[in-house]
Structure 1
Amino acid sequence: MKNKLRKKFTQLRAKKYLELNSKQIQTIYSSLLRIIKQHKIKVIGSYQPIHTELNIKPVLELLKKKCVIALPRVLNKNNMEFRAWNEYDPLYVSKFGILEPSAKNKKLVPQLFLAPLLAFDLNFNRLGYGRGYYDKYLSKNKNFLTYGIAFSFQQAKIIPVHKNDVVLKGIITEEGSVIS
């Protein structure tokens, strides 16, 4: 079931992908700013967009004035860590073809995670690519504050859930937040 959903939403995202306009960037930024203020967030863990994931870079440019931004580095056996990043730091291509910060950058544990996804449902279940990096990292502490970042058209009726899947706190889209 998950593989069928992955295929469907990968194709849908490829057809409907769009760059965020200034209003949509501001909408996502405002949603995140409320969360940052409410929870006194100092460090945000984000992602470098690949393929047709929502390009959050313009939002990160605004957020860096409020918080430290950290990006993931993939380690072995589906493990990852987060390293500090700013727009002047070079990014390096990992063995998976994903841009990552240097291993020399400061290792951080973000208070707020912005997770990419292929699809989500209104129960805040997330469908990823199936390798389990985010779920494995987030399962180490169920109290992590994690929001999915997606286009509104990525909403599915229901995402099948397995025991290792981590439920998100909410979803933030270009149209606004769906917050639990």
Structure 2
Amino acid sequence: MNPIVSTKETLRQALRLRREEITPEQYAARSVEIASHLLKFLAPFDTILVYASKPPEVDTRPLITALLEEGKHVMVPIIQREDCSLRFSYIRTPDVLVPGTFHVPEPLGNEIPADPAEIEVALIPLLGFDTDGNRIGYGAGYYDRFLAQHNHFSTVGVAFAVQECNKIPSEPTDQTLDAVVTESGISILSKKSELHH
């Protein structure tokens, strides 16, 4: 096995355990803090891709609700297992989100097809991140493949602070993040000008 792949698998297991140590009270409180940081950060943007969370990921439902109340255009991903890709849908209420592939909430039966060319900023789920913008996901590569084809927008990792790593081994196909938001605040990792409004 490729040594980077086996190192990543070990790291994934450690990160899952780290995240599982967060108590339900901490999970709720930290998710609210993260949503609050994100609302400020996302203020200049109009069309936002937000991953729809499943526990124990940072809960994005309150954020989605708040963005919709602000009149933002919120897009969510839908997993296509057949070709390991993502397609996208706008949502007008989080109530349409129901457990879909891998139990990820998706607007099944209520899709409003969305063009990824319209994305201005994307919130990306992850298991771990480092200060160089490297991200480790769940291993299926859905987001890496998508981001390799679409790089006209800023990418923001959403995580709890305990998910930070010293160094994540990266492969040529791995896509880096421009910023990460945790309960501790916003870390800008890239010099992409659109992040500095």
Provide TM-score, normalisation by structure 1: 0.87
SS at match of 1:20: helix
Q: Which residue of 1 aligns with 2:12?
A: 6
Q: Which residue of 1 aligns with 2:60?
A: 56
Residues in 2 aligned to 1:113 and 1:142: alpha-carbon distance in whole angstroms: 10
Q: Which residue of 1 aligns with 2:112?
A: 106
The 3 A distance-change label for structure 1 pair 96 and 10 is same
Q: Which residue of 2 aligns with 1:33?
A: 40
Residues in 1 aligned to 2:188 and 2:71: alpha-carbon distance in whole angstroms: 21
SS at match of 2:103: coil
1:43 aligned residue (33, 42, 47): 47
RMSD: 2.0
Task: Report the alpha carbon displacement of residue 74 of structure 1 after superposing the two structures with TM.
Answer: 0.9
Q: Which residue of 1 aligns with 2:172?
A: 163
Q: Does structure 1 residue 20 correspond to structure 2 residue 28?
A: yes
Q: Which residue of 1 aligns with 2:151?
A: 142
The 3 A distance-change label for structure 1 pair 148 and 88 is closer
After TM superposition, list the pairs within 5 Å mapping 1:71-150 onto structure 2: 71-75=76-80, 76-87=82-93, 89-102=95-108, 104-108=110-114, 109=116, 110-150=119-159
Identity of aligned residues (%): 27
Q: Are the equivalent residues in 2 in contact too, given 1:20–1:174 (CA < 8 A)? A: no
Structure 2 residues not aligned, in runs of 5+ = 1-6, 190-197
Provide TM-score, normalisation by structure 2: 0.80
The 3 A distance-change label for structure 1 pair 89 and 56 is closer
SS at match of 1:77: coil
Residues in 2 aligned to 1:105 and 1:45: alpha-carbon distance in whole angstroms: 14
SS at match of 1:74: strand
Q: Are the equivalent residues in 2 in contact too, given 1:45–1:72 (CA < 8 A)? A: yes
Residues in 2 aligned to 1:58 and 1:88: alpha-carbon distance in whole angstroms: 9
More helix by percentage:
2
Counterpart code for 2:41:
R
Q: Are the equivalent residues in 2 in contact too, given 1:94–1:100 (CA < 8 A)? A: yes
Q: Does structure 1 residue 70 correspond to structure 2 residue 66?
A: no
Q: Are the equivalent residues in 1 in contact too, given 2:31–2:183 (CA < 8 A)? A: yes
Q: Are the equivalent residues in 2 in contact too, given 1:83–1:102 (CA < 8 A)? A: no
Q: Are the equivalent residues in 2 in contact too, given 1:44–1:70 (CA < 8 A)? A: yes
Aligned length: 176
Task: Report the alpha carbon displacement of residue 99 of structure 1 after superposing the two structures with TM.
Answer: 1.7
